[in-house]
Amino acid sequence: MTPFDNAVRAQIYTLFAEGVDRVDLALVARRAGWDEREVASSFRRLADEHRLALIEDGDRVWMAHPFSGVPTKYRAVVGDRSWFANCAWDALAILSMLGDGEAIGEGDLVWEVRQGVVAPNGLVRLVVPARQFWDDIGFT
Amino acid sequence: MPAQTMFDLSRDWYRGRLEVDWSPPTAAEAEAMFAKHGLTGDFWALTPHGG
């Protein structure tokens, strides 16, 4: 990846962390004052390196783990703010990045995190081995 | 794995992710991160002899 790709990746993550639900190349370019064609090329390189997953012909971010760029049934809630997550793990991961709160799955509270302690501390089952995560990231 | 383990792993895994100079871990570094949280074995292997 180029230094520009690193900057694009960081801009994407900053937008998601700010609470932007829909991150596309036009928004990234506009926010940073970059050329859209260069951002589009960077999006493709980042996707090729599995830093992102894209939709809409590569113009929009589907996943920038742990954030989801599309509505899902999983959310992380911190205070009066919330973020879509790709799965229950990612909802917890968002809390690990942004602060104490709740991980919501399928409309129900799944976990609370307070000062780094998760409750309830139930078991989570993963079915895809680590080396196969990106074989089908949507399924994973 | 316990949800607490998943959270603790996430703290390490996503540390620095918002920074421009973040770079992904190598396969060996990722395996070491998994092992730090007790996640070992073939399921967590990323290198030919790891896990």
CATH code of A13's domain: 1.10.10.10
Q: Are strands A117-119 and A101-105 parallel, antiparallel or unpaired?
A: unpaired
Contact A74, A90 (CB under 8 A): yes
Query: Are residues A83 and A52 both part of a single domain?
Result: no
Contact B7, A89 (CB under 8 A): no
A10-61 pLDDT tens trace:
999 999 999 999 999 999 999 999 999 999 999 999 999 999 999 989 899 9
Cβ contact, residue pair B13, A113, below 8 Å? no
Cβ contact, residue pair A122, B4, below 8 Å? no
- From B46's Cα to the closest Cα of chain A, the distance in A is 5
The pTM for the full model equals 0.89
Range of the domain at A88: 74-119
A78-127 pLDDT tens trace:
999 999 999 888 999 999 999 999 999 876 878 999 999 999 988 877 77
**CB neighbour class for A2 (10 Å; exposed up to 12, middle 13-18, buried from 19):** exposed
Query: Are residues A94 and A47 both part of a single domain?
Result: no
In a domain, A100, yes or no: yes
> Does the pLDDT value for residue B51 go beyond 70?
no
Delimit the domains of chain B by residue range.
3-17+24-44
In a domain, A12, yes or no: yes
Q: Please, what's the b/e burial string for B19-50 (b: 16 or more CB within 10 A of its CB; e: otherwise)?
A: eeeeeeeeeeebbebbeebebeeeebbbeeeb
Listed by number, the residues of chain B in 1-51 with a beta carbon closer than 8 Å to a beta carbon of chain A are 1-4, 6-7, 10-11, 13-14, 17-24, 30, 34, 42-46
Query: Are residues A90 and A49 both part of a single domain?
Result: no
In a domain, A46, yes or no: yes
Count structural domains, chain A.
2
Cβ contact, residue pair A118, B4, below 8 Å? yes
Dihedral angle computed from the Cα positions of residues A122, A123, A125 and A130, in that order, rounded to the nearest 10 degrees:
110
Phi, psi dihedrals of residue A71, rounded to the nearest 5°: -60, 135
